């Protein structure tokens, strides 16, 4: 389908979880249906923010952390997230640790998980072509409004207006964890200090919650995170060191570089001091 034959679709952006979350619905559905789907999506994300925010004293996760809320009385979502985070702690040899900062903070899983749930619900509701970008954690399904595969830009670390590589696909979960916006905020749980060595990690896989957690764990590992990611089944990665060296798995879905059509750039993640030539890598 040529770009001039764009489906109408709908685009909407809201500030939730302390970041901009954008939704691009690319199905040719009635406007009222698209608006209802968007409202349901953002309603769910607002619900997650209210329940899991570590910045709201009255959030469920904060009340649980202070011992005011017994686990037996917690919501099914909180119990499921805590169980999954415990699984991830074991799977990452303790580097994904929701208590690494000394208090309960499952944010390294929750943002990706909530966007994945929202995307799954959109598919079930009859909107299989969409992009949901939750502050750089991106879930794309189907095709963009132009009929092409979605293209996801990996952000240049020292130039926020540029990209260092572009990913493309019709069913991708792309998560990043980096220090270019919030500084060295990921803690190495073994040292109890901010992790250093990897400036940014991008993980691509089938599930955004897992990709989000794996990216966080790799940053916590420091330079060893790149080797760990290379042995992670069913996932692809790109890492950028503090010294601006980029490496990525050979199977990373990097397409040829034709000019981008307006609106085809689905999201921005990643980091790099200067844009590399990735051809042949």
Q: Which residues are annotated as a binding site?
A: 108, 212, 216
Annotated binding site for Mg(2+): 108, 212, 216
115 phi-psi bin (left φ>0, alpha ψ -120 to 50, beta other): alpha
At 215, give phi and psi (nearest 5°).
-65, -40
Q: Do the Cβ atoms of 225 and 186 come closer than 8 Å?
A: no
Cα→Cα distances 163→52, 81, 236, 271, 274, Å? 31, 33, 18, 8, 9
Q: Which residues contact 92 (CB under 8 A, 6 or more apart)?
A: 213, 214, 217
Spell out where the chain has E strands: 10-16, 19-25, 130-134, 137-141, 150-155, 163-169, 171-178, 187-188, 193-194, 198-205, 236-241, 246-248, 265-269
Distance CA 165, CA 152 (A): 9
3-state secondary structure labels for all residues of 194-250? ECCCEEEEEEEECCHHHHHHHHHHHHHHCCHHHHHHHCCCCCEEEEEECCCCEEECC
DSSP code of residue 158: S
SS3 category, 174: strand
Tokens standing for residue 122: 């959109």
């Amino acid at each position: 389908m040529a770009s001039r034959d764009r489906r109408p679709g709908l685009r909407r952006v809201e500030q939730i979880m302390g970041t901009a979350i954008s939704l691009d619905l690319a199905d040719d559905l009635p406007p009222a249906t698209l608006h209802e789907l968007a409202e349901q999506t953002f309603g769910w994300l607002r619900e997650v923010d209210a329940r899991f925010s570590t910045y709201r004293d009255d959030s469920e996760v904060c009340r649980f952390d202070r011992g005011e809320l017994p686990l037996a009385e917690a919501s099914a979502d909180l119990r499921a997230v805590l169980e999954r985070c415990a699984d991830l702690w074991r799977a990452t040899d303790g580097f994904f640790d929701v208590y690494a900062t000394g208090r309960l903070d499952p944010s390294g899983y929750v943002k990706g998980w909530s966007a994945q749930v929202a995307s799954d619900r959109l598919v079930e509701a009859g909107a299989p072509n969409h992009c949901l970008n939750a502050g750089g954690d991106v879930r794309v399904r189907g095709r963009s409004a132009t009929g092409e595969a979605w293209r996801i830009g990996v952000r240049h670390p020292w130039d926020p207006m540029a990209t260092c590589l572009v990913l493309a696909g019709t069913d991708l979960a792309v998560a990043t964890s980096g220090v270019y916006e919030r500084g060295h905020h990921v803690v190495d749980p073994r040292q109890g200090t901010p992790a250093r060595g990897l400036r940014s990690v991008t993980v691509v896989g089938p599930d955004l919650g897992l990709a989000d957690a794996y990216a966080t764990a790799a940053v916590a590992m420091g330079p060893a995170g790149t080797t760990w990611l290379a042995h992670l089944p069913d996932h692809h990665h790109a890492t950028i060191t503090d010294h601006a060296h980029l490496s990525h798995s050979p199977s990373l879905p990097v397409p040829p570089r034709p000019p981008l059509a307006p609106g085809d750039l689905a999201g921005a993640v990643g980091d790099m001091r200067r844009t590399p030539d990735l051809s042949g890598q």
